[in-house]
Amino acid sequence: MSDLSLLTVEESRKKLDAKEISSVELTTACLDSIAKQEPDLHAFVTVLSEQALSSAKVADQSIAKGESLPLLGIPISIKDNFLTKGARTTASSKVLDGFIPPFDATVVRKLKEAGAVIIGKNNMDAWAHGSSTETSDYGPTHNPWDLSKLPGGSSGGTAAAVSANEVIGGIGSETAGSIRQPASWCGVIGFKPTYGRVSRYGVVAMEASLDSPGPLSKTVRDSAIMLGVIAGHDVLDATTPDIAVPNYLKDLNSNIKGLRIGLPKEYFMKESQAGINDMVMKSAKQLESLGATLVEVNLMDPKFGIADYTIIQRAGVSSNLSRYDGVRYGNDRTYFGKEAKRRVMLGSYALSSGYYDAYYKRAQQVRMLLKQDFDRIFSQVDLIMSPTAPSTALPIGSTLNEAMFGELSDLLIEGSSLAGLTAVNIPVGLLSGLPVGAQIIGNHFQEQQVLNAAYAYEQKVNWKEIKA
C-alpha cells in the first residue's frame, strides 16, 4: 500500500510484526497526512511530531527484539480533554491554553503501555460543550466528507482525523452523544462503553456521572482492539467495577442467529431528515437476513431525555468548572466562552436553594425512570437499533444562536447515555454524499454483543456503496 495512513489498526499490527513496514514509516505517513490536510480540516489542537517519531523509534527497537503489544508502534490521536504528561492539554478552551499536565490520564497510560504512538491532541468543543466542534476556542473542525459541513462533536476532531486517515485510530469521550454523533457525521465506527467500563481518571470532567471514554476507528475490529486496551478497573476511579475485561477481539463473532433486536418506533422520528429512517431500517433488515429477529418496541419519547440531560449536564458543568479560577492552573474566568458561561448559569440555577428539588432532584428521578424503561425493553430484546442522529452533517455556522443545538443533535442518544448503556455507531450508507449512522445499543457490560452485531453488519455490507 502506497499510503500507509490508510491502514487500519489490525492491518498495521500485522505489517509491523511481519517487519514489512516500520513504526517510523507509519508515523511519518500519518504526520504527512496531517500536514497536508490540517490547513483545511483543523482536526488537531496540538501535533506531537517530535515526540511521536521518538516513540516510533523506540517501538521499532521493541519490535526488532520480538516484542508484540496490541498497539505497539501504531499512531493514535487523543481528544484534547485527556491529560497527557508533558504535552499540552487545553480541552479546546483558552482557559487552559498552555497547560502542561504533570501526569497521564489512565486511558493515556494504558495506551502507552500497549505501545501506542501518541501523535497528537484533537480539537473538540470547548470543555466538550456541544455537538459540532464549532465551540472550540481554537476554531471549528471541518468534516472530511464536505469541508463546508460540521464534523459533529464534541469528539469531532478525533472523528474527523480518523475519517480523513490522518491517524490509524483515535480516542474520544462521550457524555451524551460525543462519540456516536460525530462518528455518524464523519462515517466511522464510534464505540461508547458502559459507564464505568473505562476509567475517567485524568479526563477533564464535564458531567462525572455520564462521561465515558471510548474508541473511534475505521473498523469494528479496530474498536475491539482499542477497547480491550483501555477498559478495566482503575483504583483511581471508584466508578470502574472490578470485573474482568473480555478479549473483545478474540470473541468477536459475526454469528448473530437468534439475536433479538428492538426497533423503537419513537426513535424513527418523522422529523428526521428524509431518507435516514429508511436507510437505517434497511440496515436492520440486513441483520435480519443474517438470522437476527427484529422486534418493534416502544421506548420513552426521546424528548424526555433532552429535558433530563439538560438539567443534569448543566448542573455538572456548574460544579466541575468551578475549579477553574485561575489560581491553581490556567487563565482566569474571563477566558470562558459564551457556551461555558451559559451552561454554568443554568446549572447554578438548577442547583440553587429553592430550585434544587424542583429541577435537579426531579431530573435524577426522571433519569431513574429512563433507566427502568430501558430495563423493561432489555427484558424483551437483546439489543436496540435506531438512527444515531436525526440528520446528516449540517453546515458550519449552524450552531450560531442555537443554544440547544447539541441537545437536538443528540436527541436519539441522550436516553441511553443517561441510563449508562453501551452502544456503537456504524455507518450504513450515504445520503446526498454524506454518511448516515445507525446506533446499536446494548445493556450494561454487553459490549461484546454490541460489537458482534456491528461486526456482522460490517462483514456483510459495504456501506459506501449504499447511496440515496
Per residue, what are the HEC states of 90-147? CCCCHHHCCCCCCCCCHHHHHHHHCCCEEEEEECCCHHHCCCCCCCCCCCCCCECCEC
CA–CA dist 100, 98 (Å, integer): 6
Q: Which of 33, 77, 92, 154 is catalytic?
A: 154
- Taking each helix axis from N to C end, the angle separating 23-41 and 49-64, rounded to the nearest 10 degrees, works out to 160
Q: Which of 12, 33, 79, 218 is catalytic?
A: 79
Task: Enter the DSSP assignment of 66.
Answer: T
Radius of gyration of the chain (CA): 21
223 included as an active-site residue: no
CB 438 within 8 A of CB 190: no
With a CB cutoff of 8 Å and minimum separation 6, the contacts of 146 are 393, 433, 434
54 included as an active-site residue: no
CA–CA dist 433, 288 (Å, integer): 26
DSSP-based helix, strand, coil % in the chain, nearest 5? 40, 15, 40
What are the backbone angles phi and psi of residue 172, rounded to the nearest 5°?
-125, -170
Largest CA distance in the chain: 67
Cell of 173: 469521550
CA–CA dist 100, 82 (Å, integer): 11
β-partners of residue 171 are 78, 215
163 included as an active-site residue: no
Q: Which of 93, 173, 178, 416 is catalytic?
A: 178
Q: Which residues are known catalytic residues?
A: 79, 154, 178
